[in-house]
């Protein structure tokens, strides 16, 4: 994991913000009707390497350090990294909110060292 | 139109919850009745299993009368993977149970409700007209891997009152 982190830092690793909705309010009809907007919290992930994906227009691939992900999973009480990414509202990259499409882990000896997160640019920003 | 959509959803949600209080789901850490409106949730939310997901599709307005008559198509999507403890072999039974619950809730008399305007923080205000709906029409069940899913459609009608959004 340390080697992967060092490699990512050397390859221009940066930080991104993972935007997570806070838990809903029990029995709140306003949220169910779309009247109330949930609050969000941003957590920092880094080092992260951002790559363009040739196959998908407006799609980016983030290689995220497993060290950073495991720290966030532990501190927020998520059951796993897959749950963390599945419940995330998106990733903030240079003030642009990107939708999380998928997240897979790369592992060695059963221990993940990096997460490959595919994100999609909002349709309005695709050129 | 939005008031009619909200009223229909709240009525259907309450009827389904009465028929089967055990049908619940967890959305953003909160347990709530097992029905939601897709457009009212975060775009990142995935379709819940063993719950009803409402999507507003078609819309038609007949403006010839004094009050415009709005006709909307509500698609109700639901799916099940069966119980893992049963190897998923009960997925047909679980889908049939959801079919029966939806049919009972939608076709239950009266098939109308007083239209309400829901306001943030202050509950709801009853309006002067009602929301009506027809019988539920079931589409064919579709199989996607171990998942069994269906889309049912309900036609919802309401009069657009003066000054109403």
Q: Which domain holds residue A7?
A: 2-22+38-122
User: In whole angstroms, how far apart are CA B46 and each of A64, A88, A123?
Assistant: 23, 11, 19
Residues of A in contact with B32 (CB under 8 A): 24, 26-27, 32
How many structural domains compose chain A? 1
Specify the fold of B2-159.
STM4215-like (3.30.2000)
| Nearest neighbour of A99 by CB, restricted to B9, B41, B44 | B44
CB of B165 less than 8 A from some CB of A: no
Residue A84, classified by CB atoms within 10 Å of its CB into exposed (0-12), middle (13-18) or buried (19+), is buried
- Tell me the per-residue pLDDT of A96-122, one tens digit each, with 9 for 90 and over: 889 898 889 888 888 889 999 999 887
Look at residue A113 and tell me if it is in a domain: yes
- Separation CA B160–CA B63 (nearest Å): 9
- The rounded distance, in Å, linking the Cα atoms of A17 and B27 is 22
Examine residue A30 and state whether it is found in any structural domain, yes or no. no
Between chain A and chain B, the number of residue pairs with CB atoms below 8 A apart is 54
Q: Is the interface score ipTM higher than 0.90?
A: no
Inform me whether the C-beta atom of residue B43 falls under 8 Å from chain A C-beta atoms. Answer: yes
Beta bridge partners of B71: B60, B157
Please write the tens of the pLDDT for every residue from B57-104. 999 999 988 899 999 999 999 999 999 888 889 999 999 999 999 999
Q: What is the 3-state secondary structure (H, E, C) of chain B?
A: CHHHHHHHHHHHHHHHHHHCCCCEEEECCEEEECEEEHHHCCCCCCCCCCCEEEEEEEEEEECCCCCCEEEEEEEEEEEECCCHHHCCCCHHHHHHHHHHHHHHHHHCCCCEEEEEEEECCCEEEEEEEEEEECCCEECCCEEECCEEEEEEEEEEEEECCCCCC
Q: What is the 3-state secondary structure (H, E, C) of chain A?
A: CHHHHHHHHHCCCEEEEEEEECCCCCCCHHHHCCCCCCCEEEEEEEEEEEEECCCCCCEEEEEEEHHHHHHHHHHHCCCCHHHHHHHCCEEEECCEEEEEEEEEEEEECCEEEEEEEEEECCHHHCC
Q: Is residue A104 part of a domain?
A: yes
How far is the alpha carbon of B27 from chain A, nearest alpha carbon, in Å? 7
Q: Which pLDDT tens digits describe chain A residue by residue (127 residues)?
A: 777 788 887 777 789 999 988 887 777 788 888 888 888 999 999 899 998 877 767 788 999 999 988 888 877 766 688 888 888 889 998 888 898 988 898 888 888 899 999 998 877 766 6
In a domain, A76, yes or no: yes
Ordered by start, the domain boundaries in chain B are 2-159
pTM: 0.81
């Amino acid at each position: 994991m340390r080697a992967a982190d060092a490699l990512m830092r050397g390859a221009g690793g940066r930080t991104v913000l993972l935007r997570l909705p806070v838990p809903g309010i029990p029995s709140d009809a306003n949220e169910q009707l779309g009247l109330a907007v949930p609050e969000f919290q941003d957590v920092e992930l880094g080092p992260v390497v951002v790559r363009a994906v040739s196959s998908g227009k407006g799609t980016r691939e983030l290689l995220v350090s497993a060290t950073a992900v495991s720290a966030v999973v532990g501190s927020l009480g998520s059951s796993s990294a897959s749950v963390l990414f599945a419940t995330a509202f998106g990733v903030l990259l240079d003030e642009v909110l990107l939708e999380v499409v998928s997240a897979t882990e790369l592992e060695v000896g059963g221990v993940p060292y990096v997460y490959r997160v595919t994100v999609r640019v909002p349709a309005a920003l695709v050129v | 139109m939005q008031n009619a959509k909200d009223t229909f959803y709240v009525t259907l949600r309450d009827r389904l919850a009465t028929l089967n209080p055990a049908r619940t789901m967890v959305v953003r850490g909160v347990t709530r009745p097992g029905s939601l409106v897709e457009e009212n949730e975060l775009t990142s939310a995935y379709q819940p299993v063993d719950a009803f997901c409402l999507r507003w599709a078609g819309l038609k307005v007949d403006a010839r009368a004094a009050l415009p008559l709005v006709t909307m198509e509500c698609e109700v999507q639901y799916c099940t993977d069966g119980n893992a403890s049963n190897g998923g072999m009960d997925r047909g039974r679980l889908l049939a149970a959801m079919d029966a619950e939806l049919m009972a809730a939608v076709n239950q008399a009266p098939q109308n409700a007083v239209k309400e305007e829901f306001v943030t923080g202050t509950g709801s205000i009853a309006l002067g007209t009602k929301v009506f709906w027809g019988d539920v029409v079931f589409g064919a069940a579709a199989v996607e891997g171990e998942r069994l899913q269906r889309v049912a459609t309900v036609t919802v009608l309401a009069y657009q009152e003066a000054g109403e959004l």
